[in-house]
Amino acid sequence: MRQIYRRSTGMGSPGAQKIMGAITTGMGVLGSLNGGTMGIFVVVGILTIVIGFWSEKNPVIVLHEDHLEMKLAPATARHLIRYRDVAEIDNRGPNKIFLVVHGKKIRLPVKVLEPSDLQLVLAAVRDSQPSQPAADQARGEQE
């Protein structure tokens, strides 16, 4: 099992989320002290800080022996993908890479991963794909 975390630099990094959260909270507190109704800023800021800590603690992708699991944020769905179910890796550009699973396209979070980690994920999926003759043979045996 290998855990892959968010990249540590850039706007989507946990550090940046915490800084943005702190700034938003500060704005909310200052605004409220000056008689404004900026409580919403405090709530949003605190939630952003919490999400920053969550991102730091939880991996974006976990590579298991036969499948990978992917969860980008606390409120988003967890994707569980068996390597053998990946029909195709659809590479549509540097930031748009999809895994085609049962006809459904699942986008890989390219922007939040280090390039080396992305290669690791792609290698894990590719390496567990049956070679074309082996896949044809398996299909033939099933029929």
Partner 1 sequence: MNGLIIASVIINGLLVLLLGTTGEYPAGLSIAMGVSVLVSLGGALLIAAGARRPGAILVMIGCALFVPIGLIGVIGGRRVLDELKQEAFDAGR
Q: Rounded to whole angstroms, what are the CA distances from 62 to 18, 56, 103, 124, 140?
A: 23, 14, 22, 11, 33
Contact in structure between 68 and 61 (CB atoms under 8 Å): yes
Using the rule CB under 8 A, is 38 a contact of partner 1?
Answer: no
Q: Of 26-34, 76-84, 95-103, 113-121, which part binds partner 1 (CB under 8 A)?
A: 76-84
Question: According to CB under 8 A, which one of 19, 29, 47, 101 is a site residue for partner 1?
Answer: 47
- Closest CA relative to residue 67, chosen from 82, 88, 84: 82
* Nearest to partner 1 of 83, 118 (CB atom): 83
Q: Of 5-13, 37-45, 95-103, 129-137, which part binds partner 1 (CB under 8 A)?
A: 37-45
Contact in structure between 81 and 129 (CB atoms under 8 Å): no
| Residues that bind partner 1 in the complex, under the rule CB under 8 A | 40, 43-44, 47, 67, 71, 74-78, 80
